[in-house]
């Protein structure tokens, strides 16, 4: 299972003082040197952490795979088409939220996402859609022509007891199997940590996880190199 490291929260720390340190671009270099398989950054409309300069610099220095996470708004789509990341992950975005809340509603907006997927494909950029592991969303995602879905692990990560966690794990297992059957590559993410990631590694269709907050939080104590290596070991 591959590990993509989301470096947004290095930028969150920078923005707490509005200066230039710590630099998320520096974190991306260290994460790649430690063995990360990809780097993810979310350019939010309000630029609360990652900014336009970070996206340009990441495009220059990331040698594994640069995944630009983004809302499908005209402004951010234009930046993505100019920057040419290796892939984009489309997510819903609300200004007031602390982090990405639900998955995309692809089922009710299939035409819109089909058009957006086509636009990115014309420029050679792969597209992943961040969705709940529900059959209707998975089937609609496959019809848009997207390359990949990222299954939302938030409800699993936030489960308050074993029964709820098992139920959410089953949903992810079924979702991953359905998505693979529909011809989609499958990734998972949101709220994953060293404490809860192991069961996810048992789902064979999930080829990759995207982890940010908990990994960067761990790195505050042990450094990026050790934190990335600890997550890579957990995924093995
Ligand atoms: N995947 C997606 C689509 C996300 O929006 C986020 C949060 O930015 C993550 C993965 C990473 O979540 P976390 O920071 O909780 O690891």
**CATH annotation of 2-235:** 3.20.20.70
Check if 117 has its Cβ closer than 6 Å to any atom of ligand 1: no
Query: What is the pLDDT at residue 93?
Result: 82
91 CA: nearest ligand 1 atom? 3
Give the Cβ contact number of residue 121 at 10 Å. 14
Question: Which is the catalytic residue, given 9, 32, 49, 69?
Answer: 69
Please work out whether the CB of residue 38 comes within 6 Å of at least one atom of ligand 1: no
Q: What is the pLDDT of residue 196?
A: 98
Give per-residue burial for 164-195: e unless 16+ CB within 10 Å, then b.
Answer: ebeebbebbbebbbbbbebebbbbbbbbbeee
Cβ-proximal residues to 29 (8 Å cutoff; 6+ apart), any chain: 61
pTM of the model: 0.96
CA-to-CA distance for 165 and 181, rounded, in angstroms? 24
Going from the C-alpha of 187 to that of each of 47, 77, 87, 192, 211, the distances in angstroms are 25, 22, 13, 12, 11
Positions in the chain short of pLDDT 50: none
The domain ranges of the chain are 2-235
> Are the C-beta atoms of residues 136 and 103 closer than 8 Å to each other?
no
Q: What is the DSSP letter of 201?
A: G
Give nearest CA residue, ligand 1 atom 1: 189
Q: Read off the tokens for 225.
A: 């190199």
Are 210 and 6 in contact by the 8 Å Cβ rule? The answer is: yes
């Amino acid at each position: 299972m591959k590990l993509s490291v989301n470096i947004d929260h290095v930028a969150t720390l920078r923005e707490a003082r509005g200066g230039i340190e710590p630099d998320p671009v520096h974190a991306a270099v260290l994460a790649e040197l430690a063995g990360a398989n990809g780097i993810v950054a979310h350019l939010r409309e309000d630029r609360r952490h990652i900014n336009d300069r970070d996206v340009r610099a990441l495009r220059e220095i990331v040698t594994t795979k640069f995944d630009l996470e983004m809302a499908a708004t005209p402004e951010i789509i234009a930046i993505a088409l100019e920057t040419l990341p290796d892939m984009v992950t489309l997510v819903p975005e609300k200004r007031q939220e602390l982090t990405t809340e639900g998955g995309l509603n692809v089922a009710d907006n299939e035409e819109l996402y089909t058009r957006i997927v086509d636009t990115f494909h014309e420029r050679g950029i792969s597209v992943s859609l961040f969705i709940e592991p529900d059959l209707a969303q998975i089937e609609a995602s496959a019809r848009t022509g997207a390359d990949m879905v990222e299954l939302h692990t938030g409800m699993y990560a936030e489960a308050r007891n074993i029964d709820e966690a098992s139920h959410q794990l089953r949903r992810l297992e079924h979702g991953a199997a359905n998505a693979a059957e529909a011809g989609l590559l499958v990734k998972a993410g949101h709220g994953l940590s060293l404490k809860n990631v192991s069961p996810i590694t048992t789902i064979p269709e999930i080829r990759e996880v995207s982890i940010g907050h908990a990994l960067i939080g761990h790195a505050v104590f042990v450094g990026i190199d050790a934190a990335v290596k600890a997550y890579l070991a957990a995924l093995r």
